[in-house]
Amino acid sequence: MATAELAGKHLVLGMTGGIACYKIAELTRLLVKAGATVQVVMTEAATQFITPVTMQALSGRPVYTSQWDARVPNNMAHIDLSREADAIVIAPASTDFLAKLAHGMADDLLTTLCVARECPLLVVPAMNRQMWANPATQRNVAQLRADGVETLGPDSGPQACGEVGDGRMLEPEAVYEAIASFFAPKVLAGRRVLLTAGPTFEPIDPVRGITNRSSGKMGFALARAAQQAGADVHLVAGPVALDTPWGVFREDVQTAQQMHDAVMRAVPDYDIFIAVAAVADWRVDHASDHKIKKTVDHRLPSFTFVENPDILAAVARLPHPPFCVGFAAESGDLDVHGEEKRARKNVPLLIGNLGPLTFGRDDNEVVLFEASGQKKLPRADKQALASTLIAEIAKRLPDTSLIS
């Protein structure tokens, strides 16, 4: 999540009756942390599962539960609340509530608010697997989708009732990601993005190897931003300790050669390639298949190195290359090396990390190198910077790579 990623967004968070209500406490915390204003509205049934006091404390705003709430001077809570909102999110959305929505019923504050809305409506279903599979529920959900309502989930897995199947509410983090994604500008709609991220690991023997200090954070942030911008995203990741961004297809590799092979297999299907990985330049010619032992006479082992393939240059050399973006981390003279590297690898855009090498940090400062010149972007946290970079990449895409 980028700092204040949802700043200025007003959400009505509607809660209906279901055990998944307890997960909404965490969702509220995530939304508030991202800068959103969260107005909680609960049905009578929802208050049986979690108290309005809890939701008020987490959202920092009074919770509404009744259409007849005397706090609203004009008694028009259903109109006022929905007019302030950029979106209404119903989580959890019960079987009964989905049925009411599908039929346009307005018999309490939350249903009335939904019917009176002018903003988008997102529902996050949560129910027992048989209730979800019931033809009536499926009919109602199909009707809601046809009416332009977004459904997030449900997930599959163990349920509170002890059964296993479809109907589980998405985890709060996944609901948060879907909401953030919903608000992101769709500058890469219809595009397909292939990325590399993280370090590579080049074995010396079964227990040792050569790697580097890349955390993978920038590459993962870009994968998330590209997904949020509407692209289909395939992320080829070296060994990193990061969760896969929501909605991104991830392929794990270890060595530069494996990363090269994975990219070359996938690349014909992609129209943008972003090489963020810190790929090892060399590998040991013949890795030992047993652990290399210390010798009694303290003789040092010696290794022969061979060069790894340059994945970015190889992709840029293809007869019909995707739009290629490279990254460069230098320990000095970025001005000179950045442009030289871009030209040598023959890519239209290269992003250079400014300042001292700072692995694993959550923020970054970069310069864009392209044939027409350089452009410095202000320091920002990696997720916010990733969204800016995706917008910069989108502006530079040739129209010919548009997918029809």
Task: Identify which of residues 310 and 392 has a Cβ nearer to ligand C5P in the complex.
Answer: 310
Residues in 165-224 at the binding interface with ligand C5P, rule: CB under 6 A: 196
In the DSSP assignment, the letter for residue 161 is T
Using the contact rule CB under 6 A, the part of the chain among 80-88, 138-146, 172-180, 273-281 near ligand C5P is 273-281
Amino acid at 261: D
Q: Closest separation between CB of residue 7 and ligand C5P, Å?
A: 31
Q: Closest separation between CB of residue 329 and ligand C5P, Å?
A: 7
* Contact between 11 and 39 (Cβ < 8 Å): yes
Cα–Cα distance, 297 to 131 (Å, whole number): 73
Task: Identify which of residues 44 and 307 has a Cβ nearer to ligand C5P in the complex.
Answer: 307
Give the rounded distance of the alpha carbon of 306 from its chain centre.
36
Cα–Cα distance, 282 to 200 (Å, whole number): 10
Site string for ligand C5P, 337-376 (x = CB under 6 A): ----x-----------------------------------
* Contact between 167 and 131 (Cβ < 8 Å): yes
Q: Closest separation between CB of residue 263 and ligand C5P, Å?
A: 8
Interaction between residue 279 and ligand C5P (CB under 6 A) = yes
307 has which bridge partners?
A: 282
Number of residues that bind ligand C5P (CB under 6 A): 14
Amino acid at 2: A
Cα dihedral across residues 214, 216, 221, 227: positive or negative: positive
Interaction between residue 390 and ligand C5P (CB under 6 A) = no
Interface with ligand C5P (CB under 6 A), residue from 113, 152, 188, 277: 277
First to last CA, the chain: 32
Task: Identify which of residues 31 and 276 has a Cβ nearer to ligand C5P in the complex.
Answer: 276
Question: Which among 21, 114, 161, 324 is annotated as catalytic?
Answer: 161
Q: Closest separation between CB of residue 400 and ligand C5P, Å?
A: 23
Cα–Cα distance, 377 to 355 (Å, whole number): 13
Task: Identify which of residues 80 and 330 has a Cβ nearer to ligand C5P in the complex.
Answer: 330
Tokens of 262: 């994975």
Interface with ligand C5P (CB under 6 A), residue from 63, 256, 267, 385: 256
Residue 114: active-site member: no
Q: Closest separation between CB of residue 388 and ligand C5P, Å?
A: 18
Residues in 300-319 at the binding interface with ligand C5P, rule: CB under 6 A: 308, 310-312
* Contact between 125 and 98 (Cβ < 8 Å): yes
Q: Is 290 exposed, middle or buried (0-12, 13-18, 19+ CB in 10 A)?
A: exposed
Task: Identify which of residues 152 and 366 has a Cβ nearer to ligand C5P in the complex.
Answer: 366
Task: Identify which of residues 256 and 272 has a Cβ nearer to ligand C5P in the complex.
Answer: 256
* SS3 at position 58: helix
Q: Closest separation between CB of residue 319 and ligand C5P, Å?
A: 18
Tokens of 312: 């970015």
Interaction between residue 275 and ligand C5P (CB under 6 A) = yes
Interface with ligand C5P (CB under 6 A), residue from 64, 97, 220, 327: 327
Within 10 A of 215 (CB to CB), how many other CB atoms are there?
A: 19
DSSP 124-151: EE---HHHHHSHHHHHHHHHHHHTT-EE
Q: Closest separation between CB of residue 212 and ligand C5P, Å?
A: 10
Interface with ligand C5P (CB under 6 A), residue from 328, 367, 385, 389: 328
Task: Identify which of residues 132 and 327 has a Cβ nearer to ligand C5P in the complex.
Answer: 327
Task: Identify which of residues 72 and 397 has a Cβ nearer to ligand C5P in the complex.
Answer: 397
403: CB partners within 8 A, 6+ apart = 190, 191, 192, 271
320: CB partners within 8 A, 6+ apart = none
Q: Closest separation between CB of residue 326 and ligand C5P, Å?
A: 4
Directed axis angle between helix 21-33 and helix 52-59, to 10°? 10
The binding site for ligand C5P (CB under 6 A) comprises 196, 256, 275-277, 279, 308, 310-312, 326-328, 341
List active site positions.
161
